[in-house]
Amino acid sequence: MGENIIEKSFQRQLDNSDSIVRAVVERFLSRAEFGQRKYGTNLDRTDLTVGDWIQHAQEELMDGILYLEKLKKTINIVSSKD
């Protein structure tokens, strides 16, 4: 019963939030579902050590830096053509 109250409260907050917050929450939920399907587990898993979690986070952040660098170069190329 307590979970239902929490879900209703969360839904109320989500309904009252702006479109950006709703879009981000939707993407988080979609990403979680994707991970569950692809890896057969979720972030509640207990088979990874703290070091493993740190390694995963570092790898994800490094990918993000690469994507940002690519975008910076793309913007500079586009801007220099104008």
> What is the pTM (predicted TM-score) of this model?
0.68
Report pLDDT digits (tens) over 60-80. Answer: 999 999 999 999 999 987 666
In 1-70, where do the E strands start and end?
none
> So what's the pLDDT on residue 23?
92
**Mean pLDDT for the chain?**
90
Q: 69 vs 4, 8, 60, 63, CA distance in Å? A: 44, 41, 14, 10
Summarised one tens digit per residue, pLDDT across range 13-43 is 888 899 999 999 999 999 999 999 999 999 9
Inter-residue contact 35 to 42 (CB < 8 Å): yes
